[in-house]
Amino acid sequence: MGLMTGKEYIESIRKLDLNVYMLGEKIENVVDDPILRPSLNSVKATYELAEKPEYEDLMTTKSILTGNKINRFTHLHKNTDDLIKKVKMQRLLGQNTASCFQRCVGMDSFNSLFSTTYEIDQKHNTKYHENFKSFMEYVQEKDLTVDGAMTDPKGDRSLPPNKQEDKDLFLRVVERRKDGVVIRGAKVHQTGITNSHEVLVMPTIAMREDDKDYAISFAVPTDSDGITIIVGRQSCDTRKREKNADIDVGNRNYGGTEALVIFEDVFVPNDRIFLNGETEFAGMLIERFAGYHRQSYGGCKVGVGDVLIGSAALITEYNGITKASHIKDKLIEMCHLNETLYACGIACSAEGYQTKAGNYQIDLLLANVCKQNVTRFPYEIARLAEDIAGGLMVTLPSQKDYENPVTGKYMEKYLKGANGVPAIKRMKVFRLIENLTLGTAAVGYRTESMHGAGSPQAQRIMIGRQANIEQKKELAKAIANIED
Ligand code: SF4
Ligand code: FE
């Protein structure tokens, strides 16, 4: 079939029979729901940009499996140049959507499973790599969006999966059949699941021998029997359902969704299983996935950051304060922080290496440094944007008040900016900054910067492991002439 157009993608999601709940209601039409549609549009952008000739090199590539042209979001990276292009593509998408465009979790799962299944097969003589390659060919050929699902609810964090009082708090195999397995459990924070054709499940923590039933990885269609999706609330989400609130929404075309996903006795056929009981490989899979996704943040968050910096610069212009030296300095600081994140994303890509399976893995130390910075810098960029914007971004009356003839004339008179800038322009920028720092996009830009791809402590553990402090001690000893 080859590449899907944006339009075809939307229609392909319409055909799914997803079991979705939101704000206490069953959502029959996911595609046209005003709260969900902006997040669907963000994924659609990954198809639309691939249609544009100017982005062909960034958005599309040749499959290492079939040699066919594919969307880069379904690619198995074949060299460091691919890893770099991945980050650049994510920055581009962030700039175009100012939100989480959701398709990277699948891409990062593909690459970590491709290399891990190869190594499991080598040790255990299993067929996971073959299974996974067939699945990948299907995904590439149909140009599908796949949701990578990793995080389990985890219950009592001090206990391993098999010691939990409720055994379902980590997703597990509840029945083994000749033709496959039956799965029960849940995954939390599922980015873009309502916009995905398939869900690719992986374990969430390294496991011990007695956690065998929990060491499971597989892919099934998102509308499989037994899957229930409960969409998460986001700050200001119901503004999207209001009439005449396009401006109040801040970013009316794009957004992101996160959901709690329940797997209630879902059947998985044998050829869709990529790990089943080989507990010692759970850690490898997670480490590789986390590495790729920490690299990803050096692209997507930077692209969204570009929009936030642009918004801050615009409001300074509308407010007539572009010449103030402290404002110039704050904008420079925002750029410095944003480009530092990008530098980390590019660096961990440039230092990538080939796995035994043949695809390319990022440098783990630098990817973790990248994500550790992401847990901090977007907060500082957001703080500076709020500083520059001033209080109106949270005290501004609504679009409906602006359209009411009684109140609208006052807003026009008292909220206009410098050099004849009309109130409406300032309102639009204030609402965009509000959206990015406190509204629906803040899920993807702020809190996800903290916790997405692993909370800060997870990166510090990896940095501690990868940094090779012993070697640094030897360096110091050599310079100081210390002999043991
Ligand atoms: Fe992609 Fe960033 Fe969203 Fe993750 S948070 S899915 S990397 S856009
Ligand atoms: Fe994420």
The per-residue pLDDT for range 321-379, each reduced to its tens digit, is 999 999 999 999 999 999 999 999 999 999 999 999 999 999 999 999 999 999 999 99
Tens of pLDDT along 138-154?
999 999 999 999 999 99
- Give the per-residue pLDDT at 17: 98
φ, ψ for residue 229, nearest 5 deg:
-110, 125
Closest to 216 in 3D by CA, of 280, 283, 276: 276
Catalytic residues: 100, 104, 191, 258, 293, 297, 300, 448
Choice from 96, 189, 296 to test ligand 1 binding pocket (greatest atom count within 8 A of CB): 296
- Give the per-residue pLDDT at 366: 98
Q: Are 162 and 143 in contact (CB under 8 A)?
A: no
Query: How many angstroms does the Cα of residue 454 sit away from the middle of ligand 2?
Result: 9
- Give the per-residue pLDDT at 25: 98
Average pLDDT value over all residues in the chain: 97
For range 15-37, the mean pLDDT: 98
Query: How many angstroms does the Cα of residue 189 sit away from the middle of ligand 1?
Result: 12
Closest to 269 in 3D by CA, of 180, 160, 359: 180
Closest to 326 in 3D by CA, of 338, 340, 315, 316: 316
Q: Are 184 and 261 in contact (CB under 8 A)?
A: no
- Give the per-residue pLDDT at 2: 81
- Give the per-residue pLDDT at 442: 87
Closest to 294 in 3D by CA, of 185, 362, 367: 367
Domains in the chain, start-ordered, CATH in brackets? Answer: 6-282 (2.40.110.10), 284-474 (1.20.140.10)
- Give the per-residue pLDDT at 484: 87
Q: Which atom of ligand 1 is nearest to the CA of 191?
A: 6
Q: Are 199 and 219 in contact (CB under 8 A)?
A: yes
| Long-range contacts of the stretch 61-64 (C-beta < 8 A, 24+) | 61/85, 63/137, 63/140, 64/358, 64/359
Tens of pLDDT along 252-298?
999 999 999 999 999 999 999 999 999 999 999 999 999 999 999 99
Confidence check: pLDDT of 421 > 90: yes
Confidence check: pLDDT of 112 > 70: yes
Residue type, 476: A
For range 239-249, the mean pLDDT: 97
- Give the per-residue pLDDT at 1: 66
Query: What is the model's pTM?
Result: 0.97
